[in-house]
Structure 1
Amino acid sequence: MATDFYDALGVARSASADEIQRAYRKLARQLHPDVNPEPGAEERFKEISEAYQVLSDPDQRKKYDRFGADFRRVPDDFDERAYAGAGGRVRRTQAGPGFGGGFEGFEGVDIEDLLGGFFRGRGAGGPVAGADQEAELELTVEEAYRGGRRHLSIGGERGYDVDIPAGVVDGQRIRLAGQGGRASGNAAPGDLYLVVRIKPHPRYRLSGRDITVDLPVSPWEAALGATVPVLTPGGEVKVRVAAGSSTGRRLRLRGEGLPNPKGKPGDLYAEVRVLVPKKLGKRERELFEELAAVSDFDPRRS
């Protein structure tokens, strides 16, 4: 982690939870790979997602504020007061505005010395808790919609059977308890967090839990109205295209977006795209020529 999480989101260290959330949502709309193809946008999106995951969790944010870039290496039961009292070598100080490079809130000791002394304080060869780890889990839109079970291999060494809940979103973390770094002695192993990354899709465009899909229609369907099929991640459904629809009109299908196990599901938007035949048969050409002769419709003035 080379970037300070507060800097990544563009907020002050004193920012409230609401301010952090608003900053993340604003940046996510600008940087999401589905809407921003510029080089570097995807990496920035991953960066702000990691920052938000940490700063939106009160416990993780507290550890990050105290220990900076090394916060993941600090066990949950670490007691700085007990450590300082044992040796008297650590003195708590006020972190300055340039925070972000490790244990800036302590004087007179570096991270290796501090953690090493803490572990040794439990006795040579004593139990040491395992570290939490992260890995990316790449899913298709259909997999994110349905959920299911996936066998995942990390580093070619360890394999996991992962239960994926239906309706996961990009950036969401799935916790595999006890599957992180190994511990020593009788201490607990760390946890493995799988960060969901939803791959770009040739048909579906995601915005949070909402899905947008193009809906091709013929000129006569658009002009006269029609009931047409649209393919969603949950299967085919029928939608009514109103008479007089033009390209760009959006038809909303409530609840047909990504599921939400904790609340309201997303919506699916079918966006009308009027297509014309590339080649016309003789009779088709005659009918179009007849329409052109009798119609006073001018799309450039409508």
Structure 2
Amino acid sequence: MATDFYDTLGIARDASADDLQRAYRRLARRYHPDVNSDPGAEERFKEVSEAYQVLSDPEQRGRYDRFGGDFRRIAEDAGRPRRTSAAQGFPGIDIEDLLSGLFRGRGRVPGADQEAVLELSVEEAYRGGHRRLTLPNTDRRYDVMVPPGVVDGQRIRLAGQGGRGAGGAPAGDLYLVVRIRPHRRYRLSGRDIHLTLPVTPWEAALGTTVSVTTPGGEVKVRVTAGSSSGRRLRLRGEGMPNPRGAAGDLYAEVRVMVPKHLTRRERELFEELAAVSEFTPRRA
């Protein structure tokens, strides 16, 4: 035998009858050809059904446990009754009940849930709003309401917009998985927004207040006197909004910038500063 029946059902060799039945129900729902049109699903369903048919019969299971793949060659005890189901010969399982009323003579098969990627810029994710979306390789168009403050990986559910059902059954749902595109200014960490704040040497030394552009507009950031590159300034609640709780924070990381080209007067002032300053950043 190419496959062990226990492996086929994904159960241990000492699995109880209840464990066996639960495993079969789960796999039968997944691979039944009436709900799964993937190539190979029908063959997989047959393998699962055969494994369950053998292991759910105590006599056959006992012979299988003793003799493995040779168990069919061992003569059965003719006097022992066999437990079989009237439908398809699967012991103890009613396929009608198993598939939860999906097929009850009418061929009603609910549509499958589907997923698609919804790409947004940081600004679009921050603001939210209506988006028009056309799925690749289809002509289906959707008017999507994006809630403000969505984060990367969040799923937006469009009820009844997934795969179409059969026999009058309801359609599945469509889940849009948010993917936020990289941004040249902002870096997201959950709902927190990180950005670089360039300042001049004198702003960093003396302190100042500067305007910073964020996805939500301009905010004022106070740069503390004596700030060096790498210092992080936190603005509470200025990150991505959260309709269900606290907004994220904005972190502005100071980066001291110097001019590439100095005017004559600027050079004189820097030389004067160098002559009088006792500051030595490399001092241990």
2:174 paired with 1:205:
no
User: What's the CA shift for 1:137?
Assistant: 0.6
2:239 paired with 1:239:
no
2:180 paired with 1:193:
no
2:100 paired with 1:142:
no
The residue that corresponds to 1:154 in the other structure is 135
TM-score (norm 2): 0.66
Question: Secondary structure of the equivalent of 1:287?
Answer: helix
The residue that corresponds to 1:166 in the other structure is 148
Structure 2: how far apart are the matches of 1:157 and 1:184? 20
Aligned-residue CA RMSD in angstroms? 3.4
Classify 1:277/1:142 alpha carbon distance in 2 versus 1 (closer, same or farther; 3 Å): same
Percent identity of the aligned residues? 67
Q: Deviations over 1:230-283 (max 9, x none)?
A: 111100111110110000111100001111111111000011010001110010
User: What's the CA shift for 1:92?
Assistant: 11
The residue that corresponds to 1:50 in the other structure is none
The residue that corresponds to 2:273 in the other structure is 291
Is the 8 Å Cα contact of residues 239 and 248 (structure 2) preserved in structure 1? yes
**Gap runs ≥5 in structure 2:** 1-21, 36-48, 57-88
Structure 2: how far apart are the matches of 1:68 and 1:292? 80
Classify 1:166/1:141 alpha carbon distance in 2 versus 1 (closer, same or farther; 3 Å): same
Classify 1:197/1:68 alpha carbon distance in 2 versus 1 (closer, same or farther; 3 Å): farther
Classify 1:74/1:137 alpha carbon distance in 2 versus 1 (closer, same or farther; 3 Å): farther
Q: Deviations over 1:202-247 (max 9, x none)?
A: 1111111111010010000000001111111100111110110000
Q: Highest CA radius of gyration, 1 or 2?
A: 2
The amino acid that maps onto 1:282 is R
Structure 2: how far apart are the matches of 1:248 and 1:235? 24
Is the 8 Å Cα contact of residues 122 and 215 (structure 2) preserved in structure 1? yes
**Gap runs ≥5 in structure 1:** 1-61, 76-86, 95-107
Correspondence list, 1:273-288, <5 A:
273-288=255-270
The residue that corresponds to 1:34 in the other structure is none
The amino acid that maps onto 1:186 is G
Question: Secondary structure of the equivalent of 1:171?
Answer: coil
The residue that corresponds to 2:202 in the other structure is 220
Give the alignment partner of residue 230 of structure 1, picking from 212, 225, 237: 212
The amino acid that maps onto 1:265 is A
Give the alignment partner of residue 269 of structure 1, picking from 251, 256, 270: 251
Correspondence list, 1:68-87, <5 A:
70=30
Structure 2: how far apart are the matches of 1:288 and 1:221? 14
Structure 2: how far apart are the matches of 1:268 and 1:92? 62
TM-score (norm 1): 0.62
Q: Deviations over 1:19-71 (max 9, x none)?
A: xxxxxxxxxxxxxxxxxxxxxxxxxxxxxxxxxxxxxxxxxxx99x9459959
The amino acid that maps onto 1:141 is V
